[in-house]
A and B are shown apart, each in its own frame.
Chain A
Amino acid sequence: MGEIEQMKKEAEALKTQIEAARKAVHDTDMASAASGVAPAPRVQLKTRRTLKGHLAKIYAMHWSTDNRLMVSASQDGKLLIWDSHSGNKVNAVPLKSSWVMTCAYAPSGNLVASGGLDNMCTVYNLKTPVIKTVKELDAHTGYLSCARFLSDTEVLTASGDTTCALWDLETGKQKTVFLNHVGDCMCLSLSPDMNSFVSGACDSLAKLWDIRDGQCKQTFLGHTSDINAISFYPGGNAIITGSDDCTCKMYDLRADQEVISYQDAALNSGVTSLALSMSGRLIFAGYDDFNCNIWDSLKGEKVGVLSGHDNRVSCTGVPPDGMCVCTGSWDSFLKIWN
């Protein structure tokens, strides 16, 4: 028993040390540092497309790297592939389990993936004459909340079993399991250089992981409830998180701390999803109150709102070329704005 008490003391001392080290470099905050930056223009975007086709709540969407196609997932039990320019459906993938929570497009455009309460990540080949299931990645002991392709042979998943995992698509097995969260993992985002990723969980923490050695390198505190959405800032030195505590936050990886919080006393709905504009200046955050608020990432001010959905905005996404933003909702529609 004595040894455990000693370890507990050591852990507390280390936490205090980390807090002090963070304070020591906290010579300003983002908003103060950006006082000299010209404010972002008032952002007024129009709905250019309303994509109708799903018959139930939409839970996830993901853009293809071609900036044109996108995949969406709904609890009507389907993945739909859309041509965003024409607004037409290109493909429909029927799901074995309709309790889907995530979908992803492979960078190559050849594969898509889905997963949810079935605890599995299922990968489909879009290029065979008839869409085929390529693999069922089955090892998580909790729901699949997020999946992302690194390539046609590797997939990263986040799960309600509190772990994230890197899978080999050829063998269908987990290559690396990322263990450290103590709450359901809800979201993940790959770094631009693909060497690391960040995860957000119900333990209100965001963590940075090295993909190859499996280690958690940094842990970010500040949120007071589940982190539902997370994204790397375009340059790769910062991350943005969205939480049930109704705030979004930016954490700088090199300063190892929260540098700005995006919040408003009038906002008391949880953040469900977020996406960044191409330069990182604008944050599009979807909320439970049916809106998507637009934040100036440098100054912390709200600069616009996307209103038009009749239910919770569950997913948002900006394509790689930054030409538009897509919002998906429990009202069963996707909207494209610019």
Chain B
Amino acid sequence: MSSNSNLTSMKRTVEQLKLEASVDRIKVSQAAADLQQYCLQNASKDALLVGVPAGSNPFREPRSCALL
């Protein structure tokens, strides 16, 4: 391992860390609020969460009603 390639590799690591350090961060409380809002706004359309009425479930055979 040449000391030159180690140096180049370290320089790249430092440059990458500088880039990642410069990210603007928002508060976790804000992030959480936004995620919650997204979930709740879309909840009614989420079939796995609220269920699918049997008649409109493409994976279920519709039951026929027998009139007795």
A-side interface residues toward B, CB under 8 Å?
1, 3-4, 7-8, 10-11, 14-15, 17-18, 21-22, 24-30, 33-34, 37, 40-41, 43, 45, 48-49, 68, 84-85, 180, 215-219, 233-235, 237-238, 252, 254-257, 259, 277-282, 297-298, 318, 321-325, 336, 338
Contacts of A43 in B (CB 8 A): 48-49
Contacts of B17 in A (CB 8 A): 11, 14-15, 18
Q: Are A25 and B27 interface neighbours, CB within 8 A?
A: yes
Q: A249 → chain B, closest Cβ, in Å?
A: 14
- In Å, the complex CA distance between A25 and B25 comes to 7
Q: Are B11 and A7 interface neighbours, CB within 8 A?
A: yes
Q: B35 → chain A, closest Cβ, in Å?
A: 6
- Interface of A, helix, strand, loop or mixed by DSSP: loop
* Nearest B residue to A7, CB-CB: B10
Q: Are A323 and B58 interface neighbours, CB within 8 A?
A: yes
Additional A-B contacts beyond A30-B35, A257-B25 (5; CB < 8 A): A14-B21, A18-B21, A29-B28, A37-B36, A256-B25
- Of the A-B pairs whose beta carbons lie under 8 Å apart in the complex, a sample of 11, sorted by A's number, is A18-B20, A25-B26, A85-B59, A252-B28, A255-B27, A277-B47, A278-B48, A297-B39, A323-B48, A325-B48, A338-B47
Contacts of A298 in B (CB 8 A): 35-36, 39
B: interface residue count bin: 35 or more
- For chain B, residues 28 to 68, give those with C-beta under 8 angstroms from any C-beta of chain A: 28-36, 38-43, 45-50, 52, 57-60
* Other-chain contact of A25, B28, B50, B52, B58 (Cβ < 8 Å): B28
Q: A132 → chain B, closest Cβ, in Å?
A: 31
Contacts of B16 in A (CB 8 A): 180, 216
* Other-chain contact of A17, B19, B21, B32, B58 (Cβ < 8 Å): B21
Q: Are B18 and A7 interface neighbours, CB within 8 A?
A: no
* Other-chain contact of A217, B20, B27, B35, B39 (Cβ < 8 Å): B20
Contacts of A17 in B (CB 8 A): 21
Contacts of B49 in A (CB 8 A): 40-41, 43, 277, 279, 281-282
Q: B44 → chain A, closest Cβ, in Å?
A: 9
Question: Given A37-B36, A280-B35, is A27 in contact with B48 using a C-beta cutoff of 8 Å?
Answer: no
Q: Are B13 and A252 interface neighbours, CB within 8 A?
A: no
Q: Are A322 and B21 interface neighbours, CB within 8 A?
A: no
